Chain A
Amino acid sequence: MSDPDATAAELVAAFPELRAPREVVDAAKGLLTWRTIDSELAALTFDSLLDDEQAAVRSGHGPRALAFESEDLEIEIEVLPSADRRRLVGRLAPPTPADVDVVVGDRTVTVPADELGRFAVDLPEARVPVALAVRVPGSDPVRTAPLAI
């Protein structure tokens, strides 16, 4: 073993855990779809997991609740767990019909919000980065920063 390249190869082989697993790399490659233009970014204003310890203690296994605010729109969501899947339910305030793009990892699902601003979509069982883009007719789209839920 006198060749430096052979030593380098041995070194690489000895630390397999430090190299990102293929599925992690492939997932990251899909993330460029988060890049958006011409939309307002709503700020995360509430996360039941981080912001409300009392609520977490009180509710125990209660659903994760999040709220985002832009200048003209508030978006509230809850993540409801069930046996084999999870469901994201949301509400827009003020209430308005809209198209809601739910970006889950590198996949986008579009669901309608009804006249009361309510919408719902299934989530995979595993935690994933999720973001929303809310398109209210006649207004600029509002998107949320991605968050693992």
Chain B
Amino acid sequence: MDQGDVAAVVHRAAGGEEAAWHQLVESFSSLVWSVALRQGLSRPDAGEAVQMTFLRLVENLGRLREPEALGGWLATTARREAWRVSRRVAKEVPTESTADLDAGAVDPGPEERALVGERARVVRQAFGRLPERCARLLELVVILALPYTQVARMLEMPIGSIGPTRARCLQRLRALLADEVDRDE
């Protein structure tokens, strides 16, 4: 999505324009997904929370008070929907079908991080040693690939400082990576 106009894309989606809706989903689904995972949901349940969150968005496309602040709205809604899903799952009597569903998850879960590879392990360690603000910014901008306008709002930073901060934080990460490699040797 263009850096600028999330509000305009929301408006077009509210008018029923499929392409605009797809753009919103592509831009924000990883944010919603990561919020749901952080609430402790399994991957199939996180998938459900993502669907419910985007359903809430469909219902509210025309009534968002601040469509330009969509990222924050989606993060809040995702936390609520994740809570609702976890509450329901906790009450649900496990059945064979849901057990199958869990086992059928396509992607490796967080528990399988070891499988991600040695280099990735080192990168994750270095990332974990970044100052929190750097880690948060890199997660939103780089890992989740959110538009700068949304990151600026979510982190309450001027939009002009996102690019330079991203560069500075990547530099720090690079330095930490070099440390990690030295340490391992």
Contact = CB atoms under 8 A, between A and B. Distances in A.
B119 interface: yes
Contacts of B16: 32, 35
A34 B59 CA distance: 8
B76 interface: no
B61 to A, nearest CB: 7
Contact of B52 (A19, A20, A32, A148): A148
Contact of A19 (B30, B54, B119): B30
B114 interface: no
Contact of A11 (B18, B85, B121, B142): B142
Contact of A17 (B26, B32, B37): B37
Given A29-B25, A49-B92, A11 B127 contact: yes
B93 to A, nearest CB: 6
B22 A29 contact: yes
Main secondary structure of the interface of A (DSSP, over half): helix
Contacts, number: 145
A143 to B, nearest CB: 11
B21 interface: yes
B155 interface: no
Contacts of B37: 17-18
B30 A8 contact: no
Interface residues of B, number: 60
Contacts of B139: 15, 18
B124 interface: yes
B54 A28 contact: yes
Interface stretch (A68-76, A89-97, A124-132, A133-141): A124-132
Contacts of A56: 91
B97 A146 contact: no
B25 A28 contact: yes
Given A13-B120, A31-B55, A49-B91, A19 B143 contact: yes
Interface of A: 1-2, 4, 7-8, 10-21, 23-25, 27-29, 31-32, 34-35, 49-50, 53, 56, 60-61, 81, 86, 105, 125-127, 129, 145-146, 148
Interface of B: 13, 16, 18, 21-22, 25-26, 29-30, 32-34, 37, 43, 46-48, 50-52, 54-55, 58-59, 61, 85, 87-88, 91-93, 95, 97-98, 100-101, 106-110, 113, 116, 119-121, 123-124, 127, 138-139, 142-144, 167, 170-171, 173-174, 177
